[in-house]
Structure 1
């Protein structure tokens, strides 16, 4: 059973002068499993905005992968040298 999935980075052309981070991001395949396993409720998530943001990001990634699958699309992340 896979619980974590890697999201590959978007990379510019070979000659680009943009400094990019090339490491993949890791997301929960289904963030509701992580929330249930931790026993976190809505009130606890509202108190920890950073954890809620990570779960929301994983949920968005999961949904975008589902929507792009029929078109054989890929979902990449963008992160440059300044952390943007």
Structure 2
């Protein structure tokens, strides 16, 4: 499966993404994770994949605050295939 062939967009970190990252940090996300999620939301990603168990746990707890689904890549792949 050539997943990267479906990638058509890149996101530049601008004020909008930095504001959103700040909001995410305020609810408990680490700065780097918050920035990645903010960019993923801005790019209108269908899914944000991570193997970081702490990030997955926090994302599940805060899912109503997020505008992107966060999942483990293996779990997601098993659902898709």
With the length of structure 2 as denominator, give the TM-score of the two structures.
Answer: 0.24
Return the structure number with greater helix share.
Answer: 2
Q: TM-score, normalised by structure 1?
A: 0.24
Larger Rg: 1
Greater relative CO (CA pairs within 8 A, separation 6+): 1
